[in-house]
Amino acid sequence: MKNENITKNKLDGDLLEIRKTILNNLKSTEKNSTKLMDNLAADKGKLLRALFVLLGGSFGNINREKLIEMASAIELLHLATLVHDDIIDEANYRRGKSTIQSSFGVKAGIFTGDYLFAQSYVIFSRNVSPESIMEVSNTIKTICTGEINQFFSVFSLEADIKSYLKRINGKCASLFSLSLSIGAYEGNADKVIIKKLKSIGYYTGMAFQLIDDILDITAETDLLGKPSGNDIKEGIYTLPLLYEIKNSHNLIIENLRNGSTEKVIEILRTSEGLLKAKETAKKYTDKSLKLIDSLPESFEKSYLKQIVEKMLVREY
């Protein structure tokens, strides 16, 4: 127990160091850039992806300072995607704070997201191998491809389940996979462990996004922190709805065509599609937890399992 407390305290200390590193990388000598970066600096995110970098890195042998830099770069990369997401979603608030695009305009939001992408690459280039730079690049490509595909599928009754699953890989799973594996790879961990960590990140991200999409239909607005059914209202058709469209649920299709999204959401709450989506999320969850159980015994393994269970094993 004493050793576990020491390890947990060390992880907490590392996360504080990562937050400081992120803040340092948001500083700018340019007055106009500082306005935008100060807005981001107030963000109090959970640093989940950074924590995954730390936990994954524990399965290899890597310099602590390098691991903290890599974890900070992952979070800046994630922050860049959020800034761009807010533009796409025309969101005015994130975590109760005004977004860049709502405060300073869409162009400022685009520039800020690009700046964060560049800054994350600066950190990666100092601390990781060319192979990991390629992994980062491919992950960003996957994220962008997912967003492009989502853009061209809005309000489409031709959208299919396979494309949806690819889309949520880009939206969530690909960055989770990178976060859990990059520290292990740079720490020369066993190749089998690296492969497992990539898969754990992928399965966790897929389940996490599926559960979010289910909650968008089933949860009350107060719990979500945003209007329930928001995705469907914006024409983003998620798995429960796609199952019903595939099975030619005429009442749902008719209401979609008429723009009666509230009625669609009401039907979905007791639908076969919702049950199928829950089963799919459980399959991904079970795969993730099974792979975690196969990792070598350590505090980090147990802590990773606790985090994944908290993320995934929850009431819908």
Chosen domain end from 80, 106, 127 = 127
The pLDDT > 90 percentage for the chain reads 73
Same domain, 45 and 107: yes
Same domain, 153 and 263: yes
Please give the Cα distance from 39 to 79 (Å, whole number): 12
Same domain, 138 and 121: no
Chosen domain end from 62, 93, 127 = 127
pLDDT of 200 reads 98
- Cβ(103)–Cβ(39) under 8 Å? yes
Each residue's pLDDT tens digit, 146-185: 999 999 999 999 989 999 999 999 989 999 999 999 999 9
Question: Worst-scoring range by mean pLDDT, 172-181, 217-226, 235-244?
Answer: 217-226
pLDDT > 70? residue 221? no
Same domain, 90 and 160: no
**CA angle (101 as vertex; 95, 103 as ends), nearest 5:** 80
Same domain, 244 and 268: yes
Same domain, 91 and 140: no
pLDDT of 220 reads 72
Same domain, 83 and 146: no
Among the listed residues 138, 32, 20, the one whose alpha carbon sits nearest the alpha carbon of residue 69 = 20
Prediction pTM value: 0.92
Chosen domain end from 78, 103, 127 = 127
For residues 272-301, give the mean pLDDT: 96
Please give the Cα distance from 189 to 33 (Å, whole number): 39
**How many folded domains does the chain comprise?**
2
Same domain, 144 and 114: no
CATH of the domain at 89: 1.10.600.10
pLDDT of 43 reads 65
Confidence of residue 143 (pLDDT cuts 50, 70, 90): very high
Tell me which of 3 and 222 has the higher pLDDT. 3
Altogether, the residues listed in the chain come to a count of 316
Each residue's pLDDT tens digit, 3-60: 666 677 889 899 999 999 999 998 877 777 777 887 776 666 789 999 999 999 999 9
For residues 195-204, give the mean pLDDT: 98
pLDDT of 124 reads 97
For 283, the domain range is: 130-316
Each residue's pLDDT tens digit, 75-100: 999 999 999 988 888 888 777 678 88
Estimate the crossing angle of helix 2-26 against helix 64-89, to 10 degrees.
60
Helix (H, G, I), strand (E, B) or coil at 70: helix
pLDDT > 80? residue 227? no
Same domain, 197 and 239: yes
pLDDT > 60? residue 224? no
